[in-house]
Structure 1
Amino acid sequence: MTITRIKKEIVGLEQEIHMVLAALKARLPVMLEGDAGTGKTELAKVVGRALQQEVLRVDGDPELTAFKLQGWFDPPLVLQKGYQWETFIPGPLTSAMLQGGIFFFNEVNRAPSESLNAVLSALDERILNIPRLAAIKAKDAFMSIFTMNPYDRIGTNPLPKAFYDRCVWIGMDHQPLEKAIEIVRMRTGERDAEILRSICQIVEVTRNHPSIERGASVRAAIHIIRMIQSLRGEAKPPSMAEIEYLCMMALSKNIKPTYDTAKSPEELVKEIVEEVMSKKKLFAL
């Protein structure tokens, strides 16, 4: 029943879904690792909804501290009543443990490595020590899911070995063309099969092009289709030049050329668009 619910919202990823559910059933922390746009965050959110448990989400950033994860004391109340549970404001990790919910830590490698130490005992022993109060033990239903993009080097930090030691790892990759088309159709409601295929092919070529080290994800295809749908409201359908410009908007900053190519990202996008669209009946929009 759970898998049926998930498949209503997730395209493909059958093996990943089965493995995530198996790990969570065993009460093992799950690390979803993959490039941007591979469905890590969406899978985590949908699994949480399908399991009908509250999902307490944290997004990694440099300002995230152990106190924001565990919780903190309300200063005015502490002055009145001292350090007790009544004056303590639980953070998302503590709340998930006490409620038996799902602790979802998105982009975990964007958080400072030091703050992750606050999570380790909760992952391993399912116990969390609250300073000035006591140690709490997680309810049996407590689960945790983490995501990270290992290819993003800006604003990220290496995870401690102890963190990897406590999680099971599930790799996420870009979906094949037919699945990508289905994803874009689901997210945009687009009914024109030809334009869906064309735009998804353009995005897929960016990941297979010999002069591109890192290409774009299905998210770029969704953006392009939505812009095409917006232009349809005007007097005439988008022209070839407009389609090319839309692709430039969505793709030029999402691809990384190889070090040995003389072509700019814009030149590569133009080349790919012209190659794919020359074989299509573009104006049947």
Structure 2
Amino acid sequence: MSGVVHTSTAVASPAELAGLLDRHAYLCDDGLATACFLALRMGRPLFLEGEAGVGKTELAKTLARVLGAPLIRLQCYEGLDASQALYDWDFPRQLLHLRAAEAAGVADVARLEGELYDRRFLLARPLLRALETTPSVLLVDEVDRADDEFEAFLLEVLSDFAISVPELGTIRAEHPPVVVVTSNRTREVHDALKRRCLYHWLEHPSYEREVAIIRRRLPGTAENLAGQVARAAQRLRGADLLKPPGVAESLDWAEALVALGVRELDPETAARTLGTVLKYREDQERVVAGGLAALLGGG
């Protein structure tokens, strides 16, 4: 597919895009800014892979705000099929129309059948809405949770940015949406889909960047408290946990502490608020057993 999404032409460089994202409280490194810029400039989907909570979904949301475009989200799950992602017919409205026509004495069966499959009875699901909305940002979230069959269907849609509705014909995007595909790598996504996209792996941020993210997203957080939360989160990611915390959990933890009026994190407060950052009982028990003072220690 050639051509560029017209909303991207105003962004001149990766550095400029990083600055625009920063204005909306999303801090990204040079690698991510470059991958995102190239996806816009080349009109290619951006495939973001990484552990949960590193900011993949948030990037798509922020990008939509930067471009002034609506975010259209397709949340993937096991069993998702084409009709749930693309379109469906509004059967209750079709039935009402049929009954109204019968009550009015309409005898032209062919005409009535044609009216039943008019565009007004078509329910646009996320993929079709994205093709028909200009501009738009399409977020295909957690594609690794969908089945192989849906992945193949998605590849076809992203290759042509067009879909065929047998009763109506082909619907093609006038301007293809900006597409962000995310995966938590619960399974490997097929190479064919990855080849269609520009790929970027999102790492957990460094300590310094995580402090900056917390203070940028939660300006009321004291610098010392942001540092304690970030340092503890970094250590938790190095522990043997079922579900290490992502940046999303660090932000939740910091927000909870600010809501409690905490300016410095101590072991007692950490124990009371651990549920904001660790979501498995086994992980909480392991961390408490290891000593919260050690988790919060400086250095």
TM > 0.5: yes
Q: How does 1:1-285 map to 2 (within 5 A)?
A: 2=11, 3=17, 4-8=19-23, 9-79=25-95, 80=98, 81-100=115-134, 101-150=136-185, 152=186, 158-209=188-239, 211=240, 215-232=244-261, 240-246=266-272, 248-253=274-279, 266-269=285-288, 271=290, 273-279=292-298
**1:106 Cα deviation from its structure 2 partner:** 1.0
Once the two structures are superposed, what CA deviation does each residue of 1:179-222 show, in whole Å capped at 9, x if it has no partner? 1011112233334222221121011012234x558632222222
Tell me how far apart the structure 1 counterparts of residues 291 and 139 of structure 2 sit (CA, whole Å): 38
- Aligned partner of 1:283 in structure 2 is none
Which structure has more relative contact order (CA 8 Å, sep 6+)? It is 2
Unaligned stretches of 5+ residues in structure 2: 1-9, 12-16, 99-114
Tell me how far apart the structure 1 counterparts of residues 212 and 273 of structure 2 sit (CA, whole Å): 19
**1:224 Cα deviation from its structure 2 partner:** 2.2
- Does the 8 Å contact 2:47/2:197 carry over to 1? yes
Tell me how far apart the structure 1 counterparts of residues 292 and 238 of structure 2 sit (CA, whole Å): 14
Tell me how far apart the structure 2 counterparts of residues 105 and 51 of structure 1 sit (CA, whole Å): 18
| Structure holding more helix per residue | 2
Q: What SS does the corresponding residue of 1:139 show, helix, strand or coil?
A: coil
Tell me how far apart the structure 2 counterparts of residues 255 and 95 of structure 1 sit (CA, whole Å): 41
- Aligned-residue sequence identity (percent) comes to 21
Tell me how far apart the structure 1 counterparts of residues 93 and 256 of structure 2 sit (CA, whole Å): 51
- Does the 8 Å contact 2:87/2:122 carry over to 1? yes
Larger displacement relative to structure 2 (25-34 or 266-275): 266-275
Larger gyration radius, structure 1 or structure 2: 2
